[in-house]
């Protein structure tokens, strides 16, 4: 089908000549079968009538000669030219790149092959493990913030043993004060009381309510 293209394809700005607006547009025949330039329409606003109108030209007959693409060899004027090779379409599809079938090695890829490799297991298991670890950390943080005293009481026993072991490396003059502070911290955590200035009278009642024997409380007081 004969076609005509415009160049360049952008909004045209007119120039003023003798009180008229002049538009310049380049037209290029893209096929040798073009016999005419079709009518060109131009929309404008008529200031006299106060309405929009459309101006239209008549079809302009032209004659287009067939030509060919000018190459770099034509520009240089060289007599010898490379032989033009046309692309051919194979009816059988893509041509084979291997001459023998034994050169082809099966390289199947799929979900079953992925799961049998160490990297495959890592890719499959790592996301849920990371999600589970994040979920556990959020739950622990939520429980700690909901009842910080209860969370502090859970690890009081372990902290007591570590602190008592550490007092054995202190000078004898500092041992008694360190042991007293250690038991104050432990009882404050377990009984949910301020540990800074705890006395035996403040912990004796709560320990008795929790079923601590009298002998054990007397040993603690000593």
How much is the CA Rg of the chain, to the nearest whole Å? 48
Q: Between the CA of residue 138 and those of 71, 129, 132, 133, 216, what are the distances in Å?
A: 70, 14, 10, 9, 39
Dump pLDDT digits (tens) for 93-113.
Answer: 666 565 666 666 776 656 555
Nearest of 122, 176, 188, 98 to residue 152 by alpha carbon: 188
- Average per-residue pLDDT for the chain: 77
Residue 190 CB: number of other CB atoms within 10 A?
19
Q: Between the CA of residue 176 and those of 85, 159, 217, what are the distances in Å?
A: 101, 18, 18
Q: Which residue has the tokens 């909004």?
A: 11
Q: Which residue has the higher pLDDT, 17 or 142?
A: 17
Most confident stretch, 27-31, 35-39, 118-122, 165-169: 35-39
Model pTM score:
0.33
Confidence of residue 51 (pLDDT cuts 50, 70, 90): very high
Structure tokens at 58: 């008549």
Contact 212, 202 (CB under 8 A): no
Dump pLDDT digits (tens) for 70-87.
Answer: 777 777 766 666 665 665
Contact 196, 181 (CB under 8 A): no
Task: State the pLDDT at residue 53.
Answer: 92
Dump pLDDT digits (tens) for 124-179.
Answer: 788 889 889 999 988 878 776 666 666 677 777 888 888 888 888 888 888 888 88
């Amino acid at each position: 089908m004969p076609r005509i293209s415009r160049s360049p394809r952008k909004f045209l700005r007119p120039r003023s000549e003798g009180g008229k607006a002049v538009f310049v547009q380049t037209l290029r025949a893209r096929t040798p079968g073009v016999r005419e330039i079709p009518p060109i329409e131009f929309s404008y606003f008529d200031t006299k009538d106060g309405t929009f109108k459309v101006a239209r030209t008549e079809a302009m007959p032209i004659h287009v000669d067939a030509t060919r693409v000018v190459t770099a060899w034509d520009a240089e004027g060289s007599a010898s030219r490379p032989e033009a090779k046309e692309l051919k379409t194979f009816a059988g599809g893509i041509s084979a790149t291997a001459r023998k079938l034994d050169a082809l090695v099966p390289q199947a890829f799929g979900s079953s092959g992925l799961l049998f490799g160490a990297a495959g297991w890592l890719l499959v298991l790592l996301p849920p493990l990371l999600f589970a670890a994040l979920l556990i950390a959020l739950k622990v943080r939520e429980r700690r913030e909901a009842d910080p005293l209860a969370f502090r009481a859970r690890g009081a026993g372990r902290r007591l043993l570590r602190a008592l072991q550490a007092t054995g490396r202190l000078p004898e003059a500092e041992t008694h004060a360190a042991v007293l502070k250690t038991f104050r911290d432990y009882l404050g955590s377990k009984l949910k009381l301020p540990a800074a200035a705890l006395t035996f009278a403040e912990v004796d009642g709560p320990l008795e309510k929790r079923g601590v024997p009298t002998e054990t409380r007397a040993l603690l007081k000593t």
